Amino acid sequence: MSSEERETILSGLKDQCSLVQKLREEKASKGKINEEIEKIKNLKISFDSQLKAIGVSDGSEDSTGKLILKTAKGTRDFQPAQMAVREKVLSKVIQVFKRHGAETIDTPVFERKDVLTGKYGEDSKLIYDLKDQGGEILSLRYDLTVPFARYVAMNKIMNIKRYQISKVYRRDNPSMARGRFREFYQCDLDIAGQYDPMVPDVECIKIMCEILEDLNIGNFVIKVNHRLILDGIFEVCGVDPSMFRTICSSVDKLDKSPWEEVKKEMVEEKRLDEASADKIGEFVRMSGKMELIDKLKETNLSQSKLAMEGLEHMKLLLKYAEIYGCLNRTSFDLSLARGLDYYTGIIYEAVLIDQNTDEKGELIQVGSVAGGGRYDKLVGMFDPRKRDVPCVGMSIGIERLFSIMEANMLKEKTKIRTIETEVFVTSAQKNLLEERMKLCQELWKCGIKTEHSYKKNPKMLNQLQYCEENEIPFAVIIGESELQNGTVKLRRISNREETEVPRSELTDIIKKHLSELM
Amino acid sequence: MSSEERETILSGLKDQCSLVQKLREEKASKGKINEEIEKIKNLKISFDSQLKAIGVSDGSEDSTGKLILKTAKGTRDFQPAQMAVREKVLSKVIQVFKRHGAETIDTPVFERKDVLTGKYGEDSKLIYDLKDQGGEILSLRYDLTVPFARYVAMNKIMNIKRYQISKVYRRDNPSMARGRFREFYQCDLDIAGQYDPMVPDVECIKIMCEILEDLNIGNFVIKVNHRLILDGIFEVCGVDPSMFRTICSSVDKLDKSPWEEVKKEMVEEKRLDEASADKIGEFVRMSGKMELIDKLKETNLSQSKLAMEGLEHMKLLLKYAEIYGCLNRTSFDLSLARGLDYYTGIIYEAVLIDQNTDEKGELIQVGSVAGGGRYDKLVGMFDPRKRDVPCVGMSIGIERLFSIMEANMLKEKTKIRTIETEVFVTSAQKNLLEERMKLCQELWKCGIKTEHSYKKNPKMLNQLQYCEENEIPFAVIIGESELQNGTVKLRRISNREETEVPRSELTDIIKKHLSELM
């Protein structure tokens, strides 16, 4: 192909695209525009298949051929020590979920793209798409809530209380130092079903409370609010109903930005008039408990039917929270808005409070570690007959909790074991590999967690060092004389005490010692 | 763009591709070939970016806009009952891994594409790619072995014994009925490190053996072979060394196809001469134990240095397998080849044997449930200095085991609980919601797994029915009279026995009952 020929192709392509643009500007018929687009598409497909036919990749690979050895941006490997912390945290979380009678499900890591479309508002741009390799168009899941709603609708489930702990994917600009990643675990519990007001809702708050208490990661407060109260506030402050959601997402920024900035966004970007913004500003600075409900009823908020309904719910929620022993952790906070569009009722968010106070003596908030709310309309979006199944749920910010636990363990110099080996079989002399193997087999048979060196003639020192480094409680030592006597030496690694025991009694003795250690 | 213009483009493209092919056939210089390829690539990129600029997707989206409610092809949701089976199976598998001192790691679900490139031979076409949304080119992991090798190289690990249980992705044509999916769990254990021959290898076989025995899923045999023995066979049968891998992958088909078909592939497709194929055919029909090693040494295989080395290893492996009590499960089988290119030493595969025999009285094999082998060169592919870390590992076909366990439980009508609730708090009369909540709070506080109805005034019958369906051992019943007396009724669901107990003693009594039930 000469460079002239290529020039011709390129200019032809460019002209064709300009033509499409022009047709659009002229508002030509869709059929006409698509016809012209098809021409480019078909040519493009020819390029793809011809390149493929001659075995050439599509130019997306690094042509230097040098392999850059790293994980994808925003992702990381988990080392054994991190996995051990993670297992510990997750097992506590699952224990709480099970204490409240939840069952678990799993959904695929990717969904048909249309399942995710139109559920996340502005955040949709953060969804990972799969390459079109023929067949369906797929995307990686962005959260566990939308797949859960798809699952409920698809299986025509009327009620379920389920938890799910799985990875989700967001093409965010990750701040890995602050514990934000592109691949991360979510840890959700949701209750679907037609029930009486606030009864499942308060249990979600109770569960959040129990998890954070059981993990013992410091003081926290659970902020609660209600979408109807927020809508009522917007209503009485003169916001047009079409603006409710966008003003709501401005309010959502109050946990990171001061009111002045949020107000600026409302007035300058979203063109809300300043008087309305100021009125909103007065409301969203309020927080409290029962007494705040009464106080609000005395304001012009009482003119809003929406708000009054929300306040009744809030009253019930706080009463139930008191019965469940978590009212002291709960704060009715009008600044809480939550980002996602799909919430329809109560919303909540747990925030860790550092024990330290800042210069002004105020408590420092270190950030959200759990959140959730009621979403009564999401399942209906998947049902062919738009039949709703009301849902309320919560998500634990488990990656943040992992980081906090890791940091705490580092601070307290707690060493965490990554293996559970109970006995290490060592040999004192050479050529005892097979004898070690026989002993391992005896111990495994009795269910004792056992290892030995994979080397034929390992050094005694190395074997014992491995035991000490890995906090293996016992070493069994065999040598020629022990083999002749039918004995072994049992060494307690912690105090280096050695006793000679008859080989026939070894497994019983070890089991006895291990049960004492528990 | 006129149709003539398009014709010109297409024929130019075609000519250019033919030119590349021709240059290749003529063995022109790489530089020259790449130069011509670049021309096509650049044109293709122009198409991509122009299409993007005018906001046209590449034709892959469903334009009808109708939401089809299903999971992506080859994937499925797991229902709570399936999850319960899965948890049971996995906990047994993990128990065995921990008994052998393994630790666990986790790697991201996607890798930079170049990490996977060139590792899977023909199967590379089954890799899922992510869409290029700017930034790195990514693919979903195809197995756990290649990411593990990347992890070992990247972290400069000299030795590790790790297990990993995670999902992998293959764009295969799934036979979901036969338990084959596009998204499925792999469950791997690998031992990396420079050790003495066959010591870690035999432990992998031992671990496979223990897992299959602990799961109690029927009779099985572990076939073992050695890549050096296979290469030796090919050598003495007159196969050109450049053909070893492709002939090996023909042999690999022997588990599904009869020898006649495999031979046909060798001779007709792969142009092996028939005499060589026949000689291979004689070898691959042999299986046995120690005696087969001696028998093979008396054939012309003894002329192959490769084969003799392999046979020495096999001898050692079988001896060690005897010590570990798994020789009776092991069969040295010359027909075992394993598909993947990266194996360099011992290979093995566990096959379930149906207790039933076919018409000829031969045992029916129902398929592979685990496999693995030694791959000493894979880590080196990731190391900048090509430094190898020898590895041996195994993978449990856990999805197949799930299916078998599910089928068995269905057959035996075993009901598996999906929730662990121990007590259900019920009310006999109306308006006792808050009293139920108080009782729940008392029970949760003591760590008792408790539920109650989310309805204000649930029917007694419905509450008890829920207990029976979910095999909840106890119901606590409160009514007006019990509240006045300071008592509750405790009902044992299995025999419907009811006793009145003082409320102050309730939690202790329940705990005592529960510990008796354990």
Q: CA B446, CA B438: separation in Å to the nearest integer?
A: 13
Whether A247 contacts A270, CB under 8 Å: yes
Per-residue pLDDT of A148-194, as tens digits, reads 999 999 999 999 999 999 999 999 876 665 667 899 999 999 999 99
Residue A347 has, within 13 A of its CA and on its CB side, a CA count of 22
**Tokens representing B206?**
């031992």
Judging contacts by C-beta atoms under 8 Å, the chain A residues touching residue B458 are: none
Please, which residues have CB within 8 angstroms of residue B45's CB and are 6 or more apart in sequence?
A: A59
| Residue in A with minimal Cα distance to B173 | A135
pLDDT at B363: 56
Q: CA B475, CA B481: separation in Å to the nearest integer?
A: 17
| Residue in A with minimal Cα distance to B6 | A43
On whether ipTM exceeds 0.90, the answer is no
Residue B385's identity, in one-letter code, is R
* Residue A486 pLDDT level (bands cut at 50, 70, 90): very high
Q: CA B259, CA B278: separation in Å to the nearest integer?
A: 10
Per-residue pLDDT of B110-168, as tens digits, reads 999 999 988 887 788 899 999 999 889 999 999 999 999 999 999 999 999 999 999 99
| Residue in A with minimal Cα distance to B191 | A454
> What is the DSSP pairing of strand A363-374 with strand A160-169?
unpaired
**Tokens representing A343?**
């919430």
> Per-residue pLDDT for A60 more than 50?
no
Main-chain dihedrals φ then ψ at residue B174, nearest 5 degrees:
-75, 140
**Tokens representing A194?**
């037609």
> What is the DSSP pairing of strand A220-226 with strand A330-333?
parallel
CA-based nearest distance A324→chain B, Å: 6
| Nearest neighbour of A105 by CB, restricted to B6, B72, B80 | B80
| Nearest neighbour of B382 by CB, restricted to A40, A67, A437 | A67
* Residue B454 pLDDT level (bands cut at 50, 70, 90): very high
| Residue in B with minimal Cα distance to A167 | B109
> Per-residue pLDDT for B386 more than 90?
no
* Residue A18 pLDDT level (bands cut at 50, 70, 90): confident
Report the sign of the C-alpha dihedral through residues B367, B373, B377, B383, in that order. Answer: positive
Q: Averaged over B345-367, what is the pLDDT?
A: 73
> Per-residue pLDDT for A503 more than 60?
yes
Residue B446 has, within 13 A of its CA and on its CB side, a CA count of 19
**Tokens representing A513?**
């010692």
> Per-residue pLDDT for B49 more than 70?
no
| Nearest neighbour of A437 by CB, restricted to B36, B320, B448 | B320
Judging contacts by C-beta atoms under 8 Å, the chain A residues touching residue B433 are: 196, 199
Nearest Cα to Cα of residue A443 among A472, A423, A427, A464: A423
Nearest Cα to Cα of residue B304 among B237, B253, B353: B237
| Nearest neighbour of A114 by CB, restricted to B62, B114, B325 | B62
Sheet with B287-288: list strands edge to edge: B103-104, B160-169, B183-192, B391-396, B363-375, B346-357, B220-226, B330-333, B287-288
CB crowding B253-286: b at 16 or more within 10 Å, else e: bbbeeebeebbebbbeeeebeeebbebbbebbee
pLDDT at A9: 74
Q: Do A108 and B72 touch (CB under 8 A)?
A: yes
Any bridge partners for residue A294, and if so which? none
**Tokens representing A446?**
């009795």
> Per-residue pLDDT for B44 more than 80?
no
| Nearest neighbour of B196 by CB, restricted to A129, A171, A456 | A456
Mean pLDDT score of chain B, rounded to an integer? Answer: 89
Residue window 289-348, chain A: list those with CB within 8 Å of chain B: 320, 323-325
CA-based nearest distance B463→chain A, Å: 14
| Pairs of CB atoms within 8 A across A/B | 349
**Tokens representing A73?**
């941006």
> Per-residue pLDDT for B452 more than 80?
yes
> Per-residue pLDDT for A61 more than 70?
no
* Residue B65 pLDDT level (bands cut at 50, 70, 90): very low
Please, which residues have CB within 8 angstroms of residue B296's CB and are 6 or more apart in sequence?
A: B229, B286, B302, B307, B311
Residue window 365-394, chain A: list those with CB within 8 Å of chain B: 382, 384
Report the sign of the C-alpha dihedral through residues A405, A411, A417, A418, in that order. Answer: positive
Whether A50 contacts B14, CB under 8 Å: yes
- A4-8, A184-188, A231-235: least confident range: A4-8
Q: Do A324 and B154 touch (CB under 8 A)?
A: no
pLDDT at B218: 87
| Nearest neighbour of B71 by CB, restricted to A6, A108, A132 | A108
Q: Do A71 and B153 touch (CB under 8 A)?
A: no
Residue window 194-213, chain A: list those with CB within 8 Å of chain B: 195-196, 199-200, 203, 206, 210
Per-residue pLDDT of B160-209, as tens digits, reads 999 999 999 999 876 665 667 899 999 999 999 999 999 999 999 999 99
**Tokens representing A439?**
């002993």
Q: What letter does residue B266 receive in the DSSP assignment?
A: I
Cα–Cα distance list, B507 to A285, A448, B422, B450 (Å): 43, 36, 12, 11
A447 vs B: CB within 8 A = yes
CA angle A340, A343, A344 (to 5 degrees): 150
Under DSSP, is residue A78 helix (H, G, I), strand (E, B) or coil?
Answer: strand
Per-residue pLDDT of A301-338, as tens digits, reads 999 999 999 999 999 999 999 999 999 999 999 999 98
Any bridge partners for residue A425, and if so which? A452, A476
CA angle B388, B392, B398 (to 5 degrees): 135
> Per-residue pLDDT for A476 more than 90?
yes
pLDDT at A511: 96
CA angle A7, A9, A14 (to 5 degrees): 95
B502 vs A: CB within 8 A = no
Concatenating the DSSP letter of every residue in B239-251 gives: --GGGHHHHHHHH
- A5-19, A112-126, A376-390, B266-280: least confident range: A5-19
Mean pLDDT score of chain A, rounded to an integer? Answer: 89
Q: Do B456 and A41 touch (CB under 8 A)?
A: no
Judging contacts by C-beta atoms under 8 Å, the chain A residues touching residue B107 are: 71, 77-78
Nearest Cα to Cα of residue A43 among B2, B19, B128, B137: B2
> Per-residue pLDDT for A496 more than 50?
yes
Judging contacts by C-beta atoms under 8 Å, the chain A residues touching residue B441 are: 323-325
Contacts of B354-361 with CB under 8 Å at 24 or more apart are B354/B218, B354/B219, B355/B218, B355/B219
pLDDT at B64: 43
Nearest Cα to Cα of residue A217 among A393, A88, A336: A88
- A265-279, B55-69, B253-267: least confident range: B55-69
Q: CA B289, CA B332: separation in Å to the nearest integer?
A: 5
Q: Burial-class residue B452 by CB neighbours within 10 Å (0-12, 13-18, 19+).
A: buried
Q: Averaged over A437-444, what is the pLDDT?
A: 97
Q: What letter does residue A297 receive in the DSSP assignment?
A: H
pLDDT at B504: 95
* Residue A37 pLDDT level (bands cut at 50, 70, 90): confident
* Residue B79 pLDDT level (bands cut at 50, 70, 90): very high
Q: CA A245, CA A264: separation in Å to the nearest integer?
A: 17
* Residue A353 pLDDT level (bands cut at 50, 70, 90): confident
Per-residue H/E/C for B180-191? CCCEEEEEEEEE
> What are the start-end ranges of the H helices in A137-253?
145-154, 199-215, 227-236, 244-251
pLDDT at B59: 36
> Per-residue pLDDT for A355 more than 70?
no
B58 vs A: CB within 8 A = yes
Q: CA B370, CA B368: separation in Å to the nearest integer?
A: 6
Q: What letter does residue A265 receive in the DSSP assignment?
A: I
Q: CA B474, CA A226: separation in Å to the nearest integer?
A: 36
Residue A514's identity, in one-letter code, is L
Residue window 101-130, chain A: list those with CB within 8 Å of chain B: 101-115, 128-130
**Tokens representing A71?**
């994980």
Whether A16 contacts A7, CB under 8 Å: no
Q: CA B312, CA B323: separation in Å to the nearest integer?
A: 17
pLDDT at A366: 63
Cβ neighbour number for residue B441 with a 10 Å cutoff = 16
CA-based nearest distance B471→chain A, Å: 12
Residue window 7-46, chain A: list those with CB within 8 Å of chain B: 8-10, 12-17, 19-21, 36-37, 39-46
pLDDT at A182: 94
pLDDT at A23: 83
CA-based nearest distance B283→chain A, Å: 31
> Per-residue pLDDT for B61 more than 60?
no
Judging contacts by C-beta atoms under 8 Å, the chain B residues touching residue A36 are: 1
Q: CA B38, CA B41: separation in Å to the nearest integer?
A: 5
Q: What letter does residue B473 receive in the DSSP assignment?
A: S
Q: Do B196 and A455 touch (CB under 8 A)?
A: yes
* Residue B51 pLDDT level (bands cut at 50, 70, 90): low
Under DSSP, is residue A450 helix (H, G, I), strand (E, B) or coil?
Answer: strand
